[in-house]
Amino acid sequence: MHSLVVTFALIGVLGVGAQWLAWRLRLPAIVLMLVAGIVAGPITGWIDPVHDFGDALGPLVSVAVALILFEGGLSLDFRGLRDAGPAVRRIIFLGAPLGWITSTLACHYVAGLSLPVSAVFGGILVITGPTVVTPLLRQANLTPRPASVLRWEAIVNDSLGALFAVLAYEFAVTLATTESVSQAAIGVAIGVVVATILGGAAGAALAYGFRRAIVPEYMKVPVLIAVVLGVFAASNELLDESGLLAVTLMGAILGNANLPSIGELRRFKEHIAVLLVSGVFVILAATLDSSMLALLDWRAIAFVVVIMLIARPVAIMLSLAGTNLSTAEKGLIAWVGPRGVVAVAVSGFFGVKLANLGFEDGAAIAPLAFALVFATVVIQGFSVSAVARRLGLVSTDIPGVLIVGASNWTAQLAKALQKVEIPVLVADKSWSNLRKLRLQDIPTWYGEILSETAEHTIDLNRFGTIIAATENDSYNALICTDFGPEFGRTNVFQLGRSKDGGDDPHGLPVTLGGRKLFASGVSFATLEARSYAGWVFTHTRLTDEFTQEDYRDKRVEDTELLADLTKDKTISFSTVNERPKAGPGDVLISYAPEKAQGDPATKTEPTP
């Protein structure tokens, strides 16, 4: 026996610890969280949620699910969806409803669930979830079109599937308390109206208050959470469980209100979502017992097989019929549909609610969800690369360079890389800083590179290198440290620091961050001053007659070697500790004083 404080601590440590360990080992976090929950619950008995929390367990999970769904609504970007291709729109507006129908049929006829329970669970199974899909896409290095469709489906369906489940649950609730289907339909309609009014009004009011500075900056997040909880409770009081729909709509309205502070709000909600999702998943895994696991018989296995091989493929192929995607691309999209943590969290919540309403088979939802999640993550996670290679859908594009920080110097760098056909993208939090790059037709991305939004909207598979080139040394180090496991620590670079940790006891230790660009480890301030002084990037092609030694002898004084580009477009950057070894046919990219432009001895071509 232990205190409730210890229980909360265990749940937090296990949930967040599993996510961190998954990040370090590059494994699906959901698998490690499932193992952690089962070990802490049914195996060791460290956590017994039903006993530890008692009657408070249901409300705790309800509030957590409400905040998770609000976070999903806040992530919806209607403008980005409008800009997406027709295949993406088809898979969302047609594929998601078809997936709801085919999954509902599989739940009813294969798993043996009642029709109301099947409709709720079928809606939940539409959820794929970006936290599971995005790592798979990086691992497989897919070609752009199927990767884009899968990424957008995961982002939107995270909320759309929950909305389907809420609507089906509302129907089940009203059906259980009324005598006719028509009355149940009327009850659902009333619930939708109530949730829309409350959620819409709250979202619009918050947007107005934030935009007009009625709420101070330091109170925006507390006010936001308080309003979410208030809307959730008020809507539920008016109509049972309509609060989930209300907070999801509220999040969608707020997320598309073009608020100047939306970036900060999204970053905070990402932290809240990680904590809540981790905690809810561990709690639900810990509630599994032998009686629940006994529900996983041959029908459960058949259900998983039908969902993976029939229900999803049918919905995908029908929705994508007539699009410009190839048969191979459609097949790959149909195969990759791993379910995530949100699906399990919502399943456990609705399973308990349905069981309390008298639908006894509602108790089977949670173990079935766990089985499907585990099967899809493991099987599809290990097979997606092989399937993509077999279908010829592994990207063969030249790996690009992701540059963080918009400045005169990074604009020069981007143009120099573009000249040798290396794809580039410059990311920055300042819209005005990016303006001068956009005018030069340099691809840009506006936003916080460390945010979940960046993870969902930037196709990191296109890039093999990241260069942190902002004026903030600590921020550069943070970027490199964060992306190190993703890109490989040999492929993350930053500009030299104004003061290294060894020289400045108040600075960051040299063990943090990325590799220092240029042999001299030159700083941002120096490079920016050089760009204004007329320094230019030059390209020098080596031959059998003009070697790298000749280049060193004849280059203009103070020239800094940036990188070596081989004939097969492999780029190697020069760092403080390593210089690239170039051979005939390679191109050396250098940064040199303006007088290097016209020096024929170096056989260079300046970058405009």
CB neighbourhood size of 298 (10 A): 7
For residue 501, count CB atoms less than 10 angstroms from its CB and return exposed for 0-12, middle for 13-18, buried for 19 or more: middle
Phi, psi dihedrals of residue 562, rounded to the nearest 5°: -90, -50
At the top level of CATH, the class of 4-390 is mainly alpha
What average pLDDT does the segment 290-302 reach? Answer: 76
- Cα angle: 347, vertex 350, 356; to 5 degrees: 140
Residue 374 has which token pair? 């585990």
User: pTM higher than 0.75, yes or no?
Assistant: no
Is it true that 4-390 and 400-606 share their CATH fold? no
**The predicted structure's pLDDT at residue 104:** 93
Residues in the chain: 608
**Chain centroid to CA 288: how far?**
28
**The predicted structure's pLDDT at residue 409:** 92
Does residue 510 surpass a pLDDT of 60?
no
Cβ atoms of 340 and 162 within 8 Å: the answer is no
**The predicted structure's pLDDT at residue 371:** 86
Cβ atoms of 336 and 133 within 8 Å: the answer is yes
Residue 201 has which token pair? 């009004």
CB neighbourhood size of 180 (10 A): 10
Nearest to 560 by CA among 600, 581, 530, 605: 530
Domain regions of the chain by residue span:
4-390, 400-606
Cβ atoms of 162 and 342 within 8 Å: the answer is yes
What average pLDDT does the segment 177-187 reach? Answer: 69
Cα(282)–Cα(24) distance, integer angstroms: 19
Please write the tens of the pLDDT for every residue from 339-391: 877 777 778 778 888 888 888 888 888 888 888 888 888 888 788 888 888 88
Q: Tokens 């296995």: give the residue.
A: 301
- Max CA-CA distance within the chain? 92
Element at 49 (helix H, strand E): helix 49-53
Cβ atoms of 124 and 162 within 8 Å: the answer is yes
496: left (phi over 0), alpha (psi -120 to 50) or beta: beta
Does residue 329 surpass a pLDDT of 50?
yes
**The predicted structure's pLDDT at residue 453:** 73
Please write the tens of the pLDDT for every residue from 250-286: 888 887 787 766 666 666 666 676 777 778 778 877 8
Cα(159)–Cα(68) distance, integer angstroms: 9
At the fourth CATH level, the homologous superfamily of domain 400-606 is: NAD(P)-binding Rossmann-like Domain (3.40.50.720)
